[in-house]
Amino acid sequence: MRDGAESQISADLLEWYDREARVMPWRVGPAERAAGERPDPYRVWLSEVMLQQTTVAAVRDYFRRFTERWPDVAALAAAEDADVMAEWAGLGYYARARNLLKCARAVANDHGGRFPETADALRALPGVGPYTAAAIAAIAFDEPAVVVDGNVERVVSRLFAIEAPLPGAKPELTRLAGTITPQARPGDHAQAMMDLGATICTPRNPLCGLCPLRRDCRGYAAGLQTVLPRKAPKPEKPTRRGFAYVAVGPAGGVLLERRPDKGLLGGTLGFPGSDWAEAPEPAPPFRAEWQPGGQVRHTFTHCHLELQVMVTRAARPGMVARDAFRPGDLPTLMRKVWDAAQSAL
DNA sequence: AAGCCGTGGGG
DNA sequence: TCCCCAAGGCT
């Protein structure tokens, strides 16, 4: 790499971003930002939490619905837990939704309704880790924080041709990311790194011919752009099985239960079921003539799941009324269970 | 500190 | 079909 290349890299990146920045509902574009417009910290925070391990395409509609229903942090802080969980249903990683509410209430109650303005202070909020704190500080408050997400790890590992595998190489990648983080326009720099990683410096088949940083990319020079970053191999996913029980009363009521906050699908609504294991025992929630419905296959982060859906027509106390039940309020697995039950109902 | 925690799209 | 993986955080 050429001498003084770090400042050249950030300048080239920002020049590219000024031309190519993607338009997003939570983003203040480079031209508006230069004209003095500032992003709403609430919207920056909400989008960053939704975007944790989640694609932009998946987030868009959720972000729109959340901000229409809860336009500011005070409104969200006053929301019911069940309403937020229902609105989050389908987006995954449900601890984020629980922490989202905790965080909104902390901001409302302990910070006078305003988000803290430094990465260190933001880091203390529930659901806000090193990445999210740095991103909010840079984008909303112009702090030259070093923002390191999966995109930045990939871009930097290629730019500097770092062959050590992740996650061990993360501290070194963070240090190197710091060397190309400018004092001016830190928010645009962070968003430019995301855009570059998402559209040019992609995981497979990076479009190096279009890359504004190609001149200074050691990985490209060494022909390593498609093999970096190296990663530790992933463990195999075991397959678990179980039963799920869908009871529908004569008036259309549905038996649902809320799962405990800890563990898989924590805090979400769903149908009663058995343990999930290699050879699970049936565990109907009450005595009835349970008929087999369809089967459901679903894959989580760390295991495959196959559920045998069982169905009965029976009324029970505590059922959710037909009009109050919306499958869209359930996590995806339970929507699949509901769909698989329909054939037998 | 390594394992746990969803989902949908792309190759 | 199957694997990869996407703007990570928590414990």
Nucleotide in closest CA–C1' contact with A263: B5
User: Which of these three, A221, A250, A282, is where a domain ends?
Assistant: A221
Q: What is the pLDDT of residues A6-57, one digit of tens each?
A: 889 999 999 999 999 999 999 999 999 999 999 999 999 999 999 999 999 9
Give me the catalytic one of A15, A37, A48, A278: A48
pLDDT at site A130: 97
Are A12 and A149 found together in one domain? Answer: yes
Interatomic separation, CA of residue A28 and C1' of nucleotide C8, rounded (Å)? 23
- Asked if the structure places residue A229 within a domain, the reply is no
Q: Which of residues 305-334 of A touch strand C (CB under 7 A)?
A: none
* Whole-angstrom distance, CA of residue A151 vs CA of residue A199: 10
How many Cβ atoms sit within 10 Å of the Cβ of residue A330? 23
Burial code (b: 16+ CB inside 10 Å, e: under 16) for A157-171 equals bbbbbbeeebeebee
Are A190 and A256 found together in one domain? Answer: no
Taking C1' of C10 and every protein CA, the nearest residue is A127
Where residue A111 falls among pLDDT bands split at 50, 70, 90? very high
A238: pLDDT strictly greater than 60:
yes
* Whole-angstrom distance, CA of residue A36 vs CA of residue A42: 18
pLDDT at site A234: 85
Taking C1' of C4 and every protein CA, the nearest residue is A203
Are A11 and A139 found together in one domain? Answer: yes
Tokens read off for A229: 């970053």
Task: Reply yes or no on whether A153 is catalytic.
Answer: no
Q: Name, in order, each residue with C-beta under 8 angstroms of A57's C-beta and a sequence gap of 6 or more.
A: none
- Asked if the structure places residue A56 within a domain, the reply is yes
Instruction: Give CA A253 to chain center in angstroms.
Output: 33
* Whole-angstrom distance, CA of residue A227 vs CA of residue A283: 48
* Whole-angstrom distance, CA of residue A280 vs CA of residue A294: 17
Instruction: Spell out residues with C-beta < 7 A from strand B.
Output: A 53-55, 57-58, 90-95, 204-205, 263-266, 298-302, 331-333
What percent of chain A lies above the pLDDT cut of 90? 96
pLDDT at site A89: 98
Say how many domains are in chain A: 2
Where residue A2 falls among pLDDT bands split at 50, 70, 90? low
Measuring CA to CA, which residue among A141, A69, A77, A83 is closest to residue A104?
Answer: A77
Are A172 and A205 found together in one domain? Answer: yes
Query: What CATH number is attached to the domain comprising A250?
Result: 3.90.79.10
Interatomic separation, CA of residue A332 and C1' of nucleotide B7, rounded (Å)? 8
Are A192 and A243 found together in one domain? Answer: no
Q: What is the pLDDT of residues A246-259, one digit of tens each?
A: 999 999 999 999 99
Interatomic separation, CA of residue A177 and C1' of nucleotide C11, rounded (Å)? 28
- Asked if the structure places residue A230 within a domain, the reply is no
Could you list the residue range(s) of the whole structural domain that residue A158 is in?
5-221
Are A9 and A93 found together in one domain? Answer: yes
Interatomic separation, CA of residue A154 and C1' of nucleotide B1, rounded (Å)? 23
Q: What is each CA distance from A163 to A99, A116, A171, A184, A202, in whole angstroms?
A: 35, 37, 13, 30, 17
Q: What is the pLDDT of residues A120-150, one digit of tens each?
A: 999 999 999 999 999 999 999 999 999 999 9
Q: Residue A2 in 3-state DSSP?
A: coil
Are A62 and A211 found together in one domain? Answer: yes
User: Which of these three, A221, A256, A283, is where a domain ends?
Assistant: A221
Indicate if CB(A183) is under 7 A from strand C: no
Are A166 and A254 found together in one domain? Answer: no
Indicate if CB(A127) is under 7 A from strand C: yes
A313: pLDDT strictly greater than 60:
yes
Are A41 and A181 found together in one domain? Answer: yes
Are A11 and A78 found together in one domain? Answer: yes
- Asked if the structure places residue A84 within a domain, the reply is yes
